[in-house]
Structure formats: structure tokens, C-alpha cells
Amino acid sequence: MSKRRVVITGLGVISPVGNDIINYWDNLTRGKSGIDYIDRFDVSAFPTKIAAQVKDFEPLDYLSRKDARRMDRFLQFASAAGRQAVEDAQLTINQENADRVGVWIGSGIGGIETCTKQHEILLKKGPGSVSPFLIPMMISNMAAGQVSIMFGARGPNGCTVTACASGSNSIGDAFRIIQNNDADVMIAGGTEASITPLAVAGFCSMRALSTNNDDPQGASRPFDTARDGFVMGEGAGMVILEEMNHALERGARIYAELVGYGATGDAYHIVQPNPEGDGAAQAFTAALQDAGISPEEVDYINAHGTSTEINDAMETKAIKMALGSHAYKVAVSSTKSMTGHMLGAAGAVELIAVTLACQHSLLPPTSNYKNPDPVCDLDYVPNTAREKTVNVAISDSLGFGGHNAVLVIKKFTE
């Protein structure tokens, strides 16, 4: 029995480089950075003072004042990107199809801002002053819950929490749901809003963040020998996944076809990836096998590329293990050099970049690439966007706990 084919018919994004698809893509391909000094709280005592914050975001453009007030920032981002994606797909959800439309949205950390603020209220004013909305504002699965309520989508509804792989795993899990005929349409993606004192302090204590405070826009330097840690980002990315015939019958615009998904575990360490790259390489291989695509057919990889010493070296090794000699012919770039690391939203936002690269035959660059690292020896599309026909592309995400997720798309043909 042949698999049901799944296509991408809608895109939505809230990001440090743009709060809609047009601005997001334009800024990415121009190499514009969204990284700057943190201005939401006093960072004078923090070793890292920079992040990629979402700017000029107005939740009331997407939500009623009452609903916005009852949502953590990560929920507001998810709702906004979800609405963009549904409108972009020109998708109507009504009583006739609601049971066949699902929502699957991941978040690595969830409502940490609400959690910490309400904890302060608890300590200062006592338990009676804690908001009754604390729990529904904080729990990670509420992004999928809120988006399903917004549109009345009653199909499969869930949340995959796999740290920085959450967005990619959620899209992959939604892909499987459609393939298995449990839904015809899925609103899927990832969301994160954890640029808060507690979260930044936690990552600082791990020494995971860049401390290149003198040059915020140059701080995220994936695959460069001077890389010194990742830069925190935030935002949300949503895609509309749709069974091919369902999309064709309603005359939907099809951006690309999602053809493969691979997910593995390193079983190695709580935060460090396996430096040998075995787990990540197996995820690449599994995704390509799932897609029925050979390594030689891959044109472009949007890498996890965090700008940390261990990750970038390991990921380069994994790509070479999975693709063999063809790895040196594939264009690889990390858009985290501009968006920062959006954690649980990263995979979804980066799949959107891959989809647009396929549509426009244009590869976003790896910004800030100045000093080649001998252990990172692939073609990283340095500093300037590149015109290139993209028939097959990959987006990969790697999360704390050893989670590896790889998605494969290709140009759509009936």
C-alpha cells in the first residue's frame, strides 16, 4: 500500500528577523541579523547580554485583548504564526472538516516567563494571589490547545517536547498522522519565548551561550573557528501540512512536498551530542530512506548549526557519514547566524526557510563566516545568499537529551 503524500500549503512565522513570511525571507536572504542587546531586563550581572528578540510584535493583531492577556508570550507567538499559516493556505475549517484537521505544536520550555512571574507573586503575596491562569499559560501543550480552539480544529492534537528538536519532531509527527490517514490537514510547528532572567541565567551557567557582547550581530558564527556558543532566540513557525489530493481538490497553492522524516536518540549525554555524530547521521539516513531519496539527490541542508564548538563539528561529521562523498557537493547553511537559536521553534522556522529556498531557488547564507575551521570543511554558503535550483532539501534539528530529527522536502510534482 502506497503512503499518502503530504504537501505544504501554508506558512506562518514570528521571528527575530521578521513577523511575517515576506519580511522573514527577505531579511534572511539579505543576511540581516536579529541579534542585539537584551532590553527586557537588567543584564548587568549576566555574562551574556545579547539575544535575538522578536521585535514589533503586537498580539492584538491576532488575538482579542482578553485572550492575549491570558496567554504567555510563547502562546501568543504560536497563535499569531498559526493564524498566518491558515490564512496563507486559504484553509477553511468548519463543521464539515473539523474532525479531520489537527494541530501539533512543540515547545522546548513553554511558559517559563509566566512561571517565574507567578512564583515571585507566590513568595511576596502568598498562594491566594497566584493567577488561576498559571497552569494553562505555562504548560507546553497549550500552544496546540489554543490554536485548535482558535480554529475549531478537532482532529489529532498534541505537543512534542524534545528541547531544540521540538519543532522538527512536531512537524514530523504531524506528517505521520496524515500518512496514517488519521487526519487530512495538520497545523504543525514550534514556539518558544524563553528570553527571561531565569532561562538566560541557566544557559549562562552551562556556558552554552556566546559572550561576544561587543559584537551582537556577529556573535552567532556557525562553523567558524571563532564560534563561542549559541545566541538565544525566540518566536514561532507554523506550517499547514495537507494530504496531496485534499490540497489539489480545493485548489490550494503547494509550496513543496514533505517526503521524509527520521528521528533517533544519541543515548549519550544530557546536553552534549555524541561527538562521533552517529545518532544524527542515523536520523539523516532514516529520513532519506523514508523519502526514497538517495544522498546524491540532496541539493541543500539547513543545518542545526548552533555556533557551539562541539555541535558544529559533530554535525559536519554526521552529514559526511550520512551523505558520503556527496557531502562536499551539498550546500549547507545555518540561519541561526541571523535568527539566533529559537530552541523549540527553531526546527519549524528553519523548515520554512528550506521550503522557501526550494520555491525561490535561493539559499540563505551562513552569516559571520570568516575563519574556516579545518574540522568543519563543507560548503557553508558563506555570508551571501546563493542562487541554486533546489529539488531536494533537508532541515535537521538536534536537542538536549540526544534528540535528533530530520525532515526532507522536495519540489512538488503530481
Taking 3-state DSSP, the helix, strand and coil percentages for the chain, each rounded to the nearest 5, stand at 40, 20, 40
Which residues, 6+ apart, have CB-to-CB distance to 55 below 8 Å?
16, 34
User: What's the pLDDT score for residue 188?
Assistant: 99
From the list 141, 132, 129, 135, the residue with the least C-alpha distance to 115 is 135
> What integer best gives the mean pLDDT of the chain?
98
Cell 495537507 sits on residue: 242
Cell 492575549 sits on residue: 68
What is the CB-side half-sphere exposure of residue 47 using CA atoms within 13 A?
13
Determine what percent of the chain is predicted with pLDDT higher than 70.
100
Q: How far is Cα 206 from Cα 200, in angstroms, rounded to an integer?
A: 10
CATH class (in words) of the domain with range 6-249:
alpha beta
| 354 neighbors 395 (Cβ within 8 angstroms) | yes
CATH class (in words) of the domain with range 260-410:
alpha beta
| 107 neighbors 191 (Cβ within 8 angstroms) | yes
The CA R_g of the chain, rounded to the nearest whole Å, is 20
pTM of this prediction?
Answer: 0.98
Annotated catalytic residue within 341, 358, 376, 403:
341
- Residue 5's alpha-carbon distances to 2, 102, 287, 356, 407, in angstroms, are 9, 17, 15, 20, 14
Question: Is there a shared CATH topology between the 6-249 domain and the 260-410 domain?
Answer: yes
Confidence tier at 2 by pLDDT (50, 70, 90): confident
Q: Which parts of 107-246 are beta strand (E)?
A: 157-158, 185-192, 235-243
User: What's the pLDDT score for residue 79?
Assistant: 98
Let me know if 180 is exposed, middle or buried by CB neighbors in 10 A (0-12, 13-18, 19+).
exposed
Where in the chain are the domains? Answer: 6-249, 260-410
Which residues, 6+ apart, have CB-to-CB distance to 58 below 8 Å?
none
User: What's the pLDDT score for residue 1?
Assistant: 63
User: What's the pLDDT score for residue 159?
Assistant: 98
| 286 neighbors 262 (Cβ within 8 angstroms) | yes
Annotated catalytic residue within 159, 246, 304, 376:
304
Instruction: Kindly tell me if the per-residue pLDDT of 125 is higher than 80.
Output: yes
Annotated catalytic residue within 115, 164, 204, 358:
164
Determine whether 360 is an active site residue: no
Q: How far is Cα 73 from Cα 194, in angstroms, rounded to an integer?
A: 9
Which residues, 6+ apart, have CB-to-CB distance to 202 below 8 Å?
none
